[in-house]
Structure 1
Amino acid sequence: MSAPAVTARPVLARPYPADGATVGVVFVAILMIVPARLVFRGLSFAITPAEAVGLFALVWWLCSHFTDTLGAAKGRTLVRSAVFVYVASLVATYAYATAGNLPRDELELADHMLVTAMAMIGVVLLIVDGVRGRARLDVILRAVAVMGAVLGVIGAVQFLFKFDPTRYMVLPGLRFTQEELFILERNGLSRVAATTGHPIEFAVMCAMILPIALHLAFRAREQGRPSLRWWACAGLIAAGMVFSVSRSAFVGLAGATVVLLIGWPRTRRLLALGAMLLFLGAVKVVVPGVLGAIIDLFTNLSNDSSLRWRTMDYAAAAEEIGRHPWLGRGLGTWYAPKYLVFDNQYILTTVETGIIGVLAFAGLFAAGIWSALHARHLLSDPADRDLGLTLAACLVVPLIGAATFDLRSYAVITGLSFLLVGSAGALMRHARFTRAAAPVPPSTTRRRDPES
């Protein structure tokens, strides 16, 4: 009697192994959900969980370039070159600053800022070289949109109910750097920050990722797939921006809108206009006074004390820049309350890292915008081309926002900005690979003369 046949159990193959996109999604979730003021206990200086992931990404990137088995892309890209220039400027500034006699408090801050800067560099390099293919890049961008919607819900709870759930979101092993609430007041209205460090940061973050949610919604609609969930994400992100009551967000969003309107077809422009009017009508009904308060931010500029405060520090900045024009006084060494607060990242970067440092900082975003637009030029698929336009619009927001507040001082907006720069670089890699792999049309192939 023969033994009964043993039926092998089917093995479910994973569609993708863990890669740079996997780490990118983990980074996005931790960065946006864990409150920004939570840091690890027991360390000599403050490190957030998201920065720890960034440092891991940097180590992963370094190790991956010693082997061909970890799936990292090789070869130069504009974004990666811009990253190397930025790193070189930071190291040069650190060497220049520490060669002098820095006070102990400023030296400790310089050490801390260099470590956190390397964490953000790790995020960019992880995305540029570790995210292979359009599908894996989509995974990260969908995570950004979903997490943005979650933050929109948290912001709405803070604004509508004056309740701050972030006070109860403390994970084991972490501590708050300060116990202040994430809810502020402006002109009698609450200004909320969700899990970020400040309402301005929350607002600019929402303005920066709103085009991603719109891209996903329009793409799903045009491809005949369910799009309601992405429209809901876009609405929640936009609500978070409104509830933060911040002028900087709307200035940045205006810049992004110009980029999108130039590239969008006429039908999409009309749909976007209709969606905007519907959203504004809903805000007017639910929270009647908030739109008027936002309009007053622009119509009452002459009486705005915060705007006057921003312009009072130009003389002090010019004097300090004159002392160290090229490499600055040291990254992180100009801080409040010891020194004046510069609500302008370009001024603060010039003071701390000099003219070379501020050009490298701005060049990083410029490289991301150029890469996204050039990828749009190289690609033929409408969804891919629209993603290039979307990433360029997203990166315009922090480029403008850096002129209205000290963007680099806030962890969430910095982390997302660097992640989107890396995403633009990854899309550029995808565009080059797609272009190189595309078959040459027969009509363009030169026929060989048999008599030659």
Structure 2
Amino acid sequence: MSLGEIGAILRRRWYFMVPFTLLSLLGGAYLYVTVPVSYQSQSSVALLDSSAVARLAPTFGNPLSNAGGSLIVTADVLIRTLESSDAARELSARGVTDPYTAGFAPASDSPLLVLSVTGTDRAKVLRETNALTTFAGEQLTALQEAAKVPPAYLVQTAPIVLPQTPVAKSKSRYQDIAAVVILGVVSAFLLSILMEGVAVVRRRRHAAPRPKQAHAPQRVRAGPLNRRVDATAILTVYLVLAFFVPSNLALPALGGVGTPANVFALLGLLWYLATWLGGRILPAPGTRPTRVVMCVLGLAVLAAYTADASRESSHEEVLGADRGLIGFLVWVSLVVLTSAGVQDRGRLDVLMRRVVVMGSVVAAIGFYDFFAATNIADSLHVPGLQTSVAQVNVMDRGAFTRPRATTAQPLEFAGMLAILLPFAIQQALDPVRRHLHVLRRWSPVLLMGGALPLTVSRTSIIGLLLVALVMVPRWKPARRWAAIGVMTASVAVFKVLIPGLIGTITGLFASFLSNSDSSTQARTVKYSAIVPYLREHPLFGRGFGTFTPDLYFFTDNQYMLVLAEMGVLGLVALLTLFVTGVHHGGAIRRLARTESDRELGQAFFASSVVALVISATFDSLSFPMFAGMFFLMLGAGGSYLGFLRREATAAAVPAPRRASGAHLPRPVESR
């Protein structure tokens, strides 16, 4: 369905569009008038250790002073105390009835706390901030007195920034207004398309059959609005935005899920709904299981969202849960567009080639970052977007700069390339493309495979090894030994051209195996820190998107993050996703009737295995580019499997046989 056709439908159904749009605008105006402006006041408090600690051995008889250290643990205890329900009741008795927060100061390694109060009465907010600042000092003293700390060793609070004059915070009000307007317009859009589909079905049902007549081909007006749009075209635009707009840039109100690519994916979902409800497209047969798996994940997400709403969650957690729902809709968009929207296998092949080509360009950008010791994404700025990742800068390990190209982090760069590398190999070996120049076929493989070790991470090497272990054994002996020779030569080339890189990478694995790696030890500690949160909400979790580093900590493990956010149900749904991807690869290879399709199935199998394993090394689905490529590949695997199933069914149905006497001449009466 073209954009012109969608516009024509909306004009015909103006009696839905106009009233709903006017109502949404009136609702937004009502909110603007009635919802008061919020004001926020902040103060900063530092923790000071006792002067007596310099003369005594560690511990000083004060279990809260952290042995003269930076008092980070003490500050964390105080923050948790201030955010407890008992503290909230005490503050309410003192007149602090507006929402308040207590946390560490941004980008600070010292025990510096930021206390803030948000309300609609400016004078009251200032009084409440003063009361909260005083209460923080009293609570710290009470904690130490309960531990029977000698007065000479007490930790004290010192106001660094006194309660500031409250400033207006209008963003939440404008967000509510925008939500009402968008909801009204989208509802009118979907209702108009739905009624158009119902009208089309009725006309087809009541129309009398007419004899077929020859008609002149209907001319279609030229122009961009009347050009046919299909799912491949929409997904191509998504790929351009996902690969070439830095994934850390997003709309300010949406956080990490508000990347331009994700917003366009949601628009693509609206296009599919309009085309489907308008009776112009039907989901591709044989692709339903992929969308059923997404429904299972959706149930886990909704259950976690309900669990978050039923507990006393903070305002930041509520916003995180809302963003989690938006992110899930983006994933649904990608799966639906690839599995149900692509109706022609040739167009799906085109989409996969575009994915590989664009991924290889991102890999080339990674080469530039590595050798120039810079990050080209830092110089890219898009008006209206801001970074959603704190402290994004050039990262290094050993003597090497770790590239990230247009991704948010080197691990996302490595993971994204690792799940795309099997398809680059499959396309290079495809007999259909043998007429192309060898560099054109193998350049994506060289760029992606060569960029992976440059990230100097265990994740990239694990991904490379998994791709080799899954794909190489299935090849014929000649190709297999050639691949082993190329991989061995590649190690030698890296050792000569980039001295020290291979040694640094082997050192990473050696320290991991000897349990002497600091990053591995830090992750192990985080695994045990997840257990208390899992015990609180074991089945449904705390809420999808709520376990953010700003409020808690980095998990560096997608499975641990899902356990904290969606509980056991979410973990089962996530594993089902990965297993479904593996099943797609195996089923495609089993049903394939050509060597090209068998290689394609093995590529899907390898990509899904890589995603399954490396998700234990970082919180993979928290990064928009990796998550987008994973769900796009999941939907593409389901679409390819549907095509092969339909081909197998058509081949199994025998052709209609003619009657035995049909070929005989008709008897004619002799005269």
Provide TM-score, normalisation by structure 1. Answer: 0.89
TM alignment of 1:154-233, pairs within 5 A: 154-178=365-389, 180-220=391-431, 223-233=434-444
State the secondary structure of the residue aligned to 1:185: strand
In the alignment, what sits opposite 1:330?
Answer: 543
Residues 179-204 of structure 1, C-alpha deviation per residue, up to 9 Å, x if partnerless? 74552011222111111111111112
Which residue type is aligned with residue 233 of structure 1?
Answer: P
1:90–1:114 Cα contact (<8 Å) kept: yes
Question: 1:295 Cα shift?
Answer: 1.3
Cα distance in structure 1, aligned partners of 2:433 and 2:353: 17
Query: Pick from 35, 39, 63: which aligns with 2:246?
Result: 35
- Corresponding letter in the other structure for 1:84: C
- The partner residue of 2:534 within 321, 324, 337 is 321
Is 1:420 the counterpart of 2:627? The answer is: no
Whole-Å separation in 1 of the counterparts to 2:404 and 2:627: 15
Distance in 1 of aligned mates of 2:489 and 2:392: 32
Shift of the 17–276 alpha-carbon distance from structure 1 to 2, 3 Å rule, reads farther
Alpha carbons of structure 1 residues 68 and 377: separation in structure 2 relative to 1, 3 Å: farther
Paired residue for 2:510, among 299, 319, 324? 299
1:51 Cα deviation after fit: 0.8
Distance 2:228 2:602 in 1: 29
Cross-structure match for 2:586 = 373
Task: Measure, in 1, the Cα distance between the counterparts of 2:597 and 2:589.
Answer: 7
Work out the CA distance in 2 between the residues paired with 1:278 and 1:54.
41
Write the distance in 2 (CA, Å) between the matches of 1:332 and 1:262.
40
C-alpha change, 1:89 and 1:433, in structure 2 (3 Å) is: same
Q: Is the 8 A contact 1:79 1:422 kept in 2?
A: yes
Q: Which moved more, 1:425-434 or 1:364-373?
A: 364-373
Matched, 1:57 2:268: yes
Unmatched tracts of structure 1, length 5 or more: 1-10
Q: Deviations over 1:43-73 (max 9, x none)?
A: 4655101111221232233334324313542
Distance in 2 (CA, whole Å) between partners of 1:132 and 1:117 is 24
- Tell me, in whole angstroms, the C-alpha distance in 1 between the residues paired with 2:262 and 2:471: 31
Summarize the Cα distance change of 1:372–1:178 in structure 2 as closer, same or farther, 3 Å threshold: closer
Match of 2:457 among 246, 251, 269: 246
Report the alpha carbon displacement of residue 98 of structure 1 after superposing the two structures with TM.
Answer: 0.9
- RMSD across aligned C-alpha pairs, in angstroms? 2.6
Give the conservation status (yes or no) of the 8 Å contact 2:318–2:546: yes
Q: Point out the more displaced range, 278-287 or 77-86.
A: 278-287
**How many Å separate the matches in 2 of 1:433 and 1:88?**
30
Which aligned pairs between 1:272-283 and structure 2 lie closer than 5 A? Answer: 272-283=483-494
Q: Is the 8 A contact 2:272 2:337 kept in 1?
A: yes
CA contact (8 A) 2:541 2:563 kept: yes
1:286 counterpart = 2:497: yes
CA contact (8 A) 1:256 1:397 kept: yes
Taking the aligned partners of 1:271 and 1:222, their CA distance within structure 2 comes to 20
Separation (CA, whole Å) in 2 of partners of 1:180 and 1:44 = 18
8 Å contact kept, 1:201–1:412: yes
Q: Secondary structure at the match of 2:543?
A: coil
Per the alignment, residue 403 of structure 1 pairs with 616
- 5+ residue gaps, structure 2, are 1-220, 661-671
Answering whether residue 564 of structure 2 is matched by residue 357 of structure 1, we say no
Q: Which residue in 1 is equivalent to 2:338? A: 127
Is residue 20–residue 131 contact of structure 1 (8 Å, CA) maintained in 2?
Answer: yes
Distance (Å, rounded) in 1 between the aligned partners of 2:441 and 2:434: 13
**d(CA) in 2 for partners of 1:20, 1:142:** 15
Show the counterpart of 2:284.
73
What do the CA deviations read for 1:221-241 (whole angstroms, capped 9, x no partner)?
Answer: 884443321311111112221
3-state SS in 2 of match to 1:438 = helix
CA distance in 1, matches of 2:277, 2:555: 42
The structure that has the greater radius of gyration is 2
**Equivalent residue for 1:345, pick from 546, 551, 558:** 558
Structure 1 residues 230, 183: CA separation in 2 closer, same or farther (over 3 Å shift)? farther
CA distance in 1 between counterparts of 2:639 and 2:493 reads 37
Distance change >3 Å, CA 309–CA 53, structure 1 → 2? same
Q: Give the whole-Å Cα distance in 2 for the aligned partners of 1:304 and 1:140.
A: 41
- C-alpha distance 193-267 of structure 1, shift in aligned 2 (>3 A): same
Local SS of the residue matching 1:303: coil
User: 2:80: which partner in 1?
Assistant: none
Structure 1 residues 403-443: Cα deviation after superposition (integer angstroms, max 9, x where no partner) = 1111121111111111111111011111112112226578x
8 A Cα contact 2:555 2:619, kept in partner: yes
Q: Assess, with a 3 A threshold, how the Cα gap between structure 1 residues 102 and 311 changes in structure 2: closer, same or farther.
A: same
How far apart in 1 are the matches of 2:297 and 2:274?
21
1:331 aligned counterpart, secondary structure: coil
Q: Secondary structure at the match of 1:366?
A: helix
CA contact (8 A) 1:182 1:195 kept: no
> How many residues get paired?
433
1:35–1:393 Cα change, 3 Å: same
Aligned to 1:5: none
Task: Judge which range, 383-392 or 59-68, deviates more.
Answer: 59-68
Q: Is the 8 A contact 2:287 2:638 kept in 1?
A: no
Q: Go from structure 1 to structure 2 and tell me whether the alpha carbon gap of 1:181 and 1:328 turns closer, same or farther (over 3 Å shift).
A: closer
Q: What amino acid does structure 2 have at the position aligned with 1:112? A: R
Instruction: Decide which of 230, 236, 244 is 1:25's aligned counterpart.
Output: 236
Deviates more, 1:146-155 or 1:274-283: 274-283
Q: Alpha carbons of 1:318 and 1:390: their partners in 2 closer, same or farther (altered >3 Å)? A: same
Percentage of pairs with the same residue? 31
Say which is worse superposed, 384-393 or 313-322, in terms of deviation. Answer: 313-322
Report the Cα distance in structure 2 between the residues aligned to 1:18 and 1:156, rounded to whole angstroms: 35
- The residue type paired with residue 276 of structure 1 is M
Q: Does structure 1 conserve the Cα–Cα contact (< 8 Å) formed by 2:356 and 2:424?
A: yes
Taking structure 2 as the reference length, the TM-score comes to: 0.61
Change (3 A) 1:19 1:268: farther
